[in-house]
Amino acid sequence: MTPTDALNREHQQYRASADQCVAAAAWLASRDPLRPRYHLTPPAQWMNDPNGPVFFDGEYHLFYQHNPYGSVWGNMSWGHAVSTDLVRWKHLPIALVPNPEGYDRAGVYSGCCVDHEGIPHILYTAVDHQAAQQQTQALAYSHDRLITWTKAPQPVIPNAPDGPVPDFRDPFCWREGDTWNMALCHASTATKSVVRYTSKDLRQWEYRGVIYDQFSNVPECPNLFPLGDKWLLTVSPYGDVIYALGDYRDGQFLPQGPWQALDLGGSAAFYAPNTLFDLSGQKMMWGWVRGGGSPQSPWNGCFSLPRVLDLANDKTLTIHPHAALTSLRGAKREYGNLQLDAGVRVPLPELPGPGTELTGTFKVGEMSRCGLEIAGAGPEGKPLTITYDAAKGRLSCGTAGGTFRLPVGERLELRVFLDRSVLEIYANSRAALTARFHPKNPARPELFAWSDGESLAHLTAWALADI
């Protein structure tokens, strides 16, 4: 038996053990009343970064950072789910786990999955010694529809271009002609940057220089891709996920505007997103929604709903839920034209289901505030309020929020997803805000519409199916 055969036989044994551990905890996780119904979660245990979204042989595959042995971070592995419609997901066996005596013994960190010559390949960050954080870029490939993965005998990029650095990880790959490009997070005491490598075969890589280096913190999980006639670079620099639009020329990214928050909920709720073009050419994004449910429940973390990124006519970013999500809609309830007077909360009784999508249009005064309130869903059982403040130009949920301003005369169009303990808010296809909340009754949260000035609202709610 060759060393490579031994490495991969050992890997299959550890994968089977990890799957068994997750299966043992899945029954309890599934009965947690705060576990989301239509957001993708692992069967049990810990989930963080989305990894390697890919379309292959008629199916969408999503991987994720996963601890099979507990509901806290550790033992970083790659969980795996598959879908034909981007909405309903089936869990597959864990794809990658660390080999205790291998070059990834301290963790199989984030990365990407690409189709190279008809064969799916994963590029991921392999961590050798946890204390020293020796990070290299490794390769695995599959010949059986992405179920079993064979690891390359050695890392394909064994070191950063300037030698060992504390942070050298999270490969993101795209193809230009017959050449693969890789964007990587690279951070040392001197610089914090996204760097580029190229390869013809995914095995031999050449360093090509810095893509962008004006970051104040470690730019985790870079994604760089064309969007309309511009390029978008997004990173997660140990804080809010940020993005800029600009040009990409000669291997360098040139921002043409300010860096902005990609999700107004902040990194406490949304982090480390990853992207994929769907079959129609739309750019989709998933992010990691932090947090678990009931105390001691063996699940922690889920993915945001798939959201679509595009450019508006004025070359600013648009963001909205993927149209495939409408296939989950069931029972519907209309709340008609609601007259909202200052200081009056109008109840929205009998929501049609425990998983709910709510769409609403508000006529807003230039100096008014309006929105929705969820009873008992805030800290210490206080209400949680979704607010648009026209005077300040701000969209918020509780204490989280950020800049969002409507032109005079434009109505506020909200699309809100309530999923037991996960809340996603989209405003006028121009802003997204993700939050965690804990309503008194997750199966039937109490909602109210409100305004601090005269306002009109039309609201519709749908029950959404459990995926």
Identify whether residues 295 and 355 lie together within a single domain: no
Q: Do both 155 and 229 map to the same domain? A: yes
Is residue 399 located within the same domain as residue 372? yes
CATH number for the domain including 426?
2.60.120.560
Do 358 and 259 belong together in one domain?
no
Q: Are 302 and 41 in contact (CB under 8 A)?
A: yes
Q: Amino acid identity, residue 309?
A: L
Q: Based on the domain organization, do 393 and 303 belong to the same domain?
A: no
pLDDT at residue 131, rounded to an integer: 52
- The Cα–Cα gap between 435 and 398 comes to 9
CATH code (residue 66): 2.115.10.20
Q: What radius of gyration, in Å, describes the C-alpha atoms of the chain?
A: 23
3-state SS assignment for residue 38: coil
Distance in angstroms (rounded) separating the CA atoms of residues 257 and 181: 24
Q: Quick one: which H or E segment has residue 5?
A: helix 3-30
Residues 259 and 297 in one domain: yes
Tens digits of per-residue pLDDT, 237-270?
999 999 999 999 999 999 999 999 999 999 999 9
Of 277, 294, 321, the domain-final residue: 321
361 is in which domain, residue-wise? 327-464
Cα-Cα-Cα-Cα torsion 249, 250, 254, 260, nearest 10 degrees, comes to: 80
Count the alpha carbons within 13 Å of 412 in the hemisphere toward its beta carbon: 30
CA distances from 198 to 77, 127, 140, 202 (A): 26, 22, 17, 8
According to the model, what pLDDT value does residue 243 have?
Answer: 98
Residues 312 and 358 in one domain: no
DSSP string, 235-262: EE-SSS-EEEEEEEETTEEEESS--EES
Count of domains for the chain: 2
State which of 263, 292, 321 marks the end of a domain: 321
Claim to verify: residue 201 and residue 284 sit in the same structural domain: yes
Residues of the chain with pLDDT under 50: none
Query: 321, 337, 352 — which closes off a domain?
Result: 321
One domain for residues 29 and 48: yes
pLDDT number for residue 10: 84
Give CA separation, 397 vs 207, 389, 433, in Å.
43, 11, 8
**Whether 283 and 361 share a structural domain:** no
Clarify whether residues 100 and 161 are in a common domain: yes
CA angle 90, 91, 97 (to 5 degrees): 155
Contact residues for 2 (Cβ-Cβ < 8 A; gap 6+): none
Mark whether 141 and 211 lie in a shared domain.
yes
CA within 13 Å, CB half, 443: 3
